[in-house]
Amino acid sequence: MPIVLISVLILALAGPAAAGPLDGPGASTAVVCSACHGFAGQSQSNTMPILAGMPPWYFKKAIQDFAAGKRTSPEMEPYAKQVVQFGLDDVAAYFAAQKRTTTPVTSDPAAIERGRQASAQCTLCHGASGKGDPSKGVPDLTGQPPGYLKNQMLLFKADKRSPGDAQLKVVKTLMTTIPDEQLADLAAYWSSVR
């Protein structure tokens, strides 16, 4: 018991003094992610999602699904296994603690407007704000890069993302009813929502 107390004390004392942007157990692992996902998970590209501020439950599910090959990605499957190897909880906590940013990639205003008009079909699950519902495992759509959002919808539509996942049946069925052009408009809209 005293050892635990001392450890807690040491942690409490060491914590604030060591609060650099690359301190903490997840930070040194996460720097490998920044090549594609940007420093602190603040992705600047159109196709890689923003990880900064991502809730741990969603980050961990994504990594576990990539590592198990449920979400098929030749890029992410190896890296997911690497993250698991070095400590999934730490990396998830690191990204969750980073300042949430929105994508710097902008979309055509006409596409955003078309997407807004068609967005009601998304809000049933993701909410009027598009911020999702963690209690139901529904993620936040807002501010992510439009290319990333579009690719995910296309993967759902083709049943290439988590095939056989019962929870995703509704969203996949919905995607099959939406033309690809409208998926791009929806991506443009939700990407622009702050």
Partner 1 sequence: MKDSTRREFLWTSGLGLLAAGCAPTVKDYAQKSGRRVVVIGGGWGGATAAKYVRLADPSIEVVLLEPNRQFVSCPFSNLVLSGVRTIDSITFGYDRLRAQGVRVLHEAATAIEPDARRVRVGNDSLPYDRLIVSPGVEFQWEQVEGLAANQDRVLHAWKAGPQTVELARQLQAMPDGGVFVLTIPPAAYRCPPGPYERTCQVAWYLKNNKPKSKLIVLDANPNIISKTALFRAAWANYPNIDYRGSNKVVKVDPGAREVTTELGDKVKYDVLNLIPPQRAGTIAVSADLVGADKRWCEVNHLTYESVKHKNIHVIGDSTIGLPVPKSGNVANAMGKISAIAVVNLLNDKPVPPMAPGNTCYSWVSDREAIAVVNAYKIEGGKVVQIEQKLTPGQSEMWAQNAVGWANSIWQDMLG
Sites of contact with partner 1 (CB under 8 A): 20-22, 25, 28-29, 31-32, 34-39, 43-48, 74-75, 77-79, 81-82, 85-86, 147, 151
Q: Considering the complex, what minimum distance in angstroms separates the CB of residue 8 from partner 1?
A: 20
Other CB atoms within 10 A of residue 41 CB: 26
Q: Considering the complex, what minimum distance in angstroms separates the CB of residue 167 from partner 1?
A: 25
The rounded distance, in Å, linking the Cα atoms of 185 and 34 is 28
Q: Considering the complex, what minimum distance in angstroms separates the CB of residue 157 from partner 1?
A: 14
Residue 70, judged by CB atoms within 10 A of its CB (0-12, 13-18, 19+), counts as middle
Report the residue number, 38 or 53, with the smaller CB distance to partner 1. Answer: 38
Report the residue number, 39 or 57, with the smaller CB distance to partner 1. Answer: 39
The SS3 assignment for 124 reads helix
Report the residue number, 16 or 20, with the smaller CB distance to partner 1. Answer: 20
Determine contact, residues 124/154, Cβ cutoff 8 Å: no
